[in-house]
Amino acid sequence: MTSSDSGFEDSHLGVELDMPRSVEEMLLPHVYVGLEIDLLSPGDGIVTDRHHASADRYEADDPMNQIGGQISPFTLSGWLRHGCEYVVQTAGATACHPGEPNADYMRASVYERDLDSGYHEKGACLDGHEDGCVLYDLFGGFGDKPGKLLRRPVSFSPIRRQVDVLDGEAEAHFRQISNQVRSRNEEDGGQPLRQADRGVLGNVEGTWKLTLRELKPEFVGLLLEAVSFLDAHSDQFEFQLGGARNFGAGIGDVWVINPLYTESEVRRVFNRAQATTQAMEEKDEVWASECRPEFVRTLQARVAARDGDVPMPTGDDESGGESA
C-alpha cells in the first residue's frame, strides 16, 4: 500500500484526499480522547496500585486515600467499538460482529439475531476485501490479524500534578463503596442481608490515548464520528461506559482533542489556570470546517466501497458528520 503526498494511506479509497494540513502538523498517529466522567464503575475493570483488600489498611471514607491505578482498556474498547458499529450502521452498512460465530454465547441464537439487525458475521467481509470492513481493520480480527488501533489503559491518579494527559492519563478518585442490602421484612428489624462492595472512580478528567498503527484517514473519520456519537448519547443505557448505569455511572462527556493542537496546547486544555488561546481557536475553526469533514468523507468512501447500497461521497458532500 502506498502513501500519497498527504502522508496518509489513501490509495485504496478511490477518492482524492484534499486535506488542508499535512499529517506532520497533526498529533497523529496519536488520537487523544478527552474524558470527563462524574462517576465510573467499570466492575472488575479497575486495577489499583496498592493492596487495600485488608480492612485495617483501607478506610473507604478516609480523605487521605491517594490510590492510583488503571482503568481497563477492555471496558473502554468495547464502549468505543459499540459507538463505531453504530456509525457504520447509520451510514447504511452492516457492522462486523465483535464475536466469533462459534463462541459460547449465554443466550441461544444470539448470533443469528444480531445478523438480522445490522451485523455481518465476523470476518465475512474478508471475502471481498483483503483488509475486511473498516471495523475489522481497525479493531482486529482472527489470529494473525491484529487491529490497527492501539487502545491503552487509562492510568489515573488523584493528584493532578502527577497526571500527564499526553500519556493518556486522568485525574480520578478511587473509592471502594459498600452497600448493605437490608431486609424489608418488618420482623427482621432492618437487619442487613448481604453486603455488596464495588470500586468506583469519581470525577474522572483526562485523556485516553489511542494510537493508529496504520494511518488510514477513514480510521480517523470513524473515531471522530464514534466519539461524537457517544458524547451525544452519553446517558443512553447502551452507550454508557462500564457498570452501574441505572445509578448514573458511565455518563461521559467525551471528545477528540483537536489533532492540530501542539502538545503544550493539549496540556492547556486540562489546565484550569489557563484559558484557550487565539491560536487554539483558529485551529478549532480550521479543524471543524475543513479537516474534520474531509476525514468523514474518507470514511464514507471506505464504507461505500464495501457496500454498494451506500453512495460514494462527492467533493462537496458534508452530510453524515455531527459537529466536532
Interacting residue ranges for Zn ion, rule: CB under 5 A: 96, 125, 132-133, 136
Is the omega angle on the peptide bond into residue 101 within 30 degrees of 0, that is, cis?
no
Residue 214 neighbours by CB under 8 Å, 6+ apart: 9, 148
Whichever of 111 and 136 has its CB closer to Zn ion, that residue is: 136
Whichever of 225 and 265 has its CB closer to Zn ion, that residue is: 225
**What's the one-letter identity of residue 186?**
E
Residue tagged 489556570 (cell numbers): 273
Q: Helices 292-306 and 217-232 sit at what angle, rounded to 10 degrees?
A: 100
Residue tagged 457496500 (cell numbers): 307
Q: Give min distance, CB of 120 to Zn ion, in A.
A: 6
Q: Give min distance, CB of 86 to Zn ion, in A.
A: 15
Whichever of 132 and 252 has its CB closer to Zn ion, that residue is: 132
Whichever of 136 and 261 has its CB closer to Zn ion, that residue is: 136
CA atoms within 13 A on the CB side of 40: 30
Strand partners, 208: 33
Q: Give min distance, CB of 214 to Zn ion, in A.
A: 17
Q: Give min distance, CB of 91 to Zn ion, in A.
A: 14
Beta-strand ranges (E) seen in 261-320 are none
Sign of CA dihedral 221, 223, 229, 232: negative
Whichever of 93 and 200 has its CB closer to Zn ion, that residue is: 93
Q: Give min distance, CB of 306 to Zn ion, in A.
A: 8
